[in-house]
């Protein structure tokens, strides 16, 4: 749900309650989405380590697809200083 800033300030306890029961609550200022109120559970999920980059690639739908990625052997050019 989206709340104008003034309305969110006036109904802060309702905004917090809805964040806990219904999910993130968006705060707008002059019609522009500016902030989000999250439940502590949602916040903690976002803060949890997501694993390493290697694990991310292992879980990728492309893992085991046979795509071969080769690194160029080009070492660049020499630069005179």
CA–CA separation, 25 vs 3, rounded Å?
Answer: 7
Number of domains in the chain: 1
Report the b/e string of 54-79 with b at 16+ CB within 10 A.
eeeeeeeeeeeeeeeeeeeeeeeeee
Percent of the chain with pLDDT over 70: 100
Structural domain that includes position 34: 2-59
In 1-75, beta strands by DSSP E: 2-4, 25-29, 32-37
Please tell me whether the overall predicted TM-score, pTM, comes out greater than 0.85 for this model. Answer: no
Q: Is residue 51 part of a domain?
A: yes
Kindly state whether residue 24 falls inside one of the protein's structural domains: yes
Q: What is the CATH number of the domain that holds 11?
A: 3.40.1620.10
∠ Cα 20 22 38 (to 5°): 45
pLDDT digits (tens, 9 = 90+) for 25-58: 999 999 999 999 999 999 999 998 888 888 888 8
């Amino acid at each position: 749900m989206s709340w104008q800033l003034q309305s969110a300030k006036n109904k802060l306890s309702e905004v917090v309650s809805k964040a806990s029961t219904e999910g993130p609550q968006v705060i707008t200022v002059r019609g522009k989405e500016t902030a989000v109120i999250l439940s502590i559970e949602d916040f903690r999920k976002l803060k949890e380590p997501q694993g390493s980059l290697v694990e991310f690639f292992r879980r990728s739908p492309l893992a085991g697809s046979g795509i071969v990625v080769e690194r160029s052997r080009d070492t660049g050019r020499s630069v005179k200083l």
